[in-house]
Amino acid sequence: MLECVTLEDLVRLRRARDVMDRDYARPLDVPALADVALMSPGHFSRSFRAAFGETPYGYLMTRRVERAKALLRRGDLSVTEVCFEVGCTSLGSFSSRFTELVGESPSAYRARRHETGAAIPACVAKILTRPRRNGAPVGAGRSVRIGEAGSAVAS
């Protein structure tokens, strides 16, 4: 059954999503996020999935993997340190989710060279390197063009 999300609920859901974006390294669970959205945990989970196409946990883990990729590219932290830095408490679960979303293990990602993307503006790199689930190609469903004054525009 397709659930309809009201504008009022969408505002509350975006508030919870903003908390996940900002505080991804803190311990966050559905009841705490539901409190931010002023909803029951069940209604929050259903509404979040209806509005954003993935579960709150899936969204949070995608954010954590996104941040982990940036830390791993720097190369000054071990995979275990990165795991805890982004708010994960289990190295095994972190590695499994990272591998699922990125297509290679955190160790392999950290070990390879990353200079090829250095010339890409950060706003474009964020779009193109966002972890994708289920083998979807990087940038799937999005195109990037250069707009006025050289700014990148995703569409």
Q: What average pLDDT is seen over the chain?
A: 82
In a domain? residue 1: no
Share of the chain above pLDDT 90, in %: 63
**The total number of structural domains that make up the chain:** 3
Compute the chain's Rg from CA coordinates: 17
Whether residue 138 sits in one domain with residue 127: yes
pLDDT in tens, 119-145: 566 666 666 666 666 555 444 444 444
Whether residue 44 sits in one domain with residue 14: yes
Q: Which of 49, 71, 73 is nearest to 63 (CA)?
A: 71
Residues of the domain holding 128: 116-154
Q: Is the Cβ–Cβ distance between 26 and 87 less than 8 Å?
A: yes
94 residue type, one letter: F
For residues 73-93, give the mean pLDDT.
Answer: 94
Whether residue 66 sits in one domain with residue 111: yes
pLDDT in tens, 41-70: 999 999 999 999 999 999 999 999 999 999
Whether residue 66 sits in one domain with residue 45: no
| CATH code for position 92 | 1.10.10.60
For residues 22-37, give the mean pLDDT.
Answer: 95
H-helix segments, the chain:
7-22, 30-36, 41-52, 56-74, 79-85, 91-102, 106-111, 122-128
For residues 70-92, give the mean pLDDT.
Answer: 93
In a domain? residue 36: yes
pLDDT for position 155 = 45
In a domain? residue 109: yes
Q: Is the Cβ–Cβ distance between 130 and 118 less than 8 Å?
A: no
Whether residue 32 sits in one domain with residue 43: yes
- Cα–Cα distances in Å, from 52 out to 34, 49, 71, 129? 15, 5, 26, 19
